[in-house]
Amino acid sequence: MNQTKYKRIILKISGEILGCREEGEPIHSKSLENICEEIKAVADMGVEIGLVVGGGNIFRGLQGSDKGIDRTTGDSMGMLATVINGLALMDRLEKIGAVVRVQSAIPMDKLAEPYIQRRAIRHLERGRIVIFVSGTGNPYFSTDTTAALRASEISAEVILKATKVDGIYDKDPHKFEDAQKFDSLTYMDCLEKRLSVMDSTAFSLCMDNAMPILVFDLQQKNSIRQAVCGETIGTIVS
C-alpha cells in the first residue's frame, strides 16, 4: 500500500468537469471514465473517500432566476442535477470494481440512501466510496458548503477541491498572463486578498473547523493521487 498523507478525504468535484462543452454533452463518457479511474486508484491505496458532486453541467439554481424560476425552486432543480451526476459516478465506479454508496440529503429511497452521518462513517471505515448528493437538502446553499459541512461531520482531514485551474491565483490566469499562483495560504490571507476559494458560507465553515482546503487541477493526470500522497500540487489553504 502506498504511503498517503491523508486517510479520509472529501473530494469536491464540480458538475462542469463531467461535461464536454465542445460536444454539448452534460456527462461526457471519457471525462467520467478518467475521473472514476483516478478515484478508484486512490481508494485502492486505502484512502477513505467521501465525494461531493455539483450539478452545474445540468442545471444551476441561479440559472433559474434568469428564466423566471423562483430561486428556491431553481435550487431544488440544481439539487436534483447533483443526484443525476452522483448516479453516473456510482455506475462507472461500480463497473470498474469499486464498492459505492450514494447518500442523499433529500429522501429518495428508490435511488439513494438517506444521508445519515454514522452510516456514512461506517461505509467509509469498510472501504466504500460514499457519494453525497442533493447538496445540504436546502436552497441557498452551494455544493461547496455541502463539502465543508460533510467534511466536518465525517471528520475528514482535508477537502480536495478539484477544479480546471492548478491552484489559487491573485487574479484570473485565463485572462491575465502575469497572474501569480500561491502554493499555500492562510484563511486570513484569502479573506484579506479577497480570493474566491469557495463561497463565503463554505469558507467560514472550513475556517471555523480548521478544515484545510487543497485546490488543484483535476485535468492533470494522477492529480488526486498526488494530492493524497502530500506531493506539491495546487494551493493549500489552512
CB 233 within 8 A of CB 227: yes
- pLDDT tens-digit profile of 118-161? 999 999 999 999 999 999 999 999 999 999 999 999 999 999 99
Residue where the block lists cell 459516478: 89
Q: Single out the residue of 135, 175, 139, 161 nearest to residue 54, CA to CA.
A: 135
- Tell me the helix, strand and coil percentages in the chain, rounded to 5: 40, 20, 40
Give residue 188's Cα distance to chain centre: 23
Cell numbers found for residue 152: 466536518
Alpha helices for 49-194 (secondary structure H): 61-66, 71-95, 117-125, 143-153, 187-193
CB 11 within 8 A of CB 236: no
Quick one: pLDDT at residue 152?
Answer: 96
Burial class (CB in 10 A: 0-12, 13-18, 19+), 95: exposed
- What is the domain partition of the chain in residue ranges? 8-237
Q: In this structure, what DSSP letter does residue 15 have?
A: G
Cell numbers found for residue 151: 467534511
3-state secondary structure of 152: helix
Q: Could you tell me which CATH class the domain 8-237 is placed in? A: alpha beta
- pLDDT tens-digit profile of 10-23? 999 988 888 877 77
In this prediction, residue 1 has a pLDDT band, given cuts at 50, 70 and 90, of very low
Burial class (CB in 10 A: 0-12, 13-18, 19+), 84: buried
Q: CA-CA distance, 62 to 72, in Å (whole number)?
A: 10
Q: Give me the mean pLDDT over the 75-88 stretch.
A: 94
Quick one: pLDDT at residue 92?
Answer: 97
Quick one: pLDDT at residue 199?
Answer: 85
Q: What is the pTM of this model?
A: 0.93
Q: Where are the beta strands (DSSP E) in 117-222?
A: 129-133, 158-163, 168-169, 181-182, 184-185, 213-217
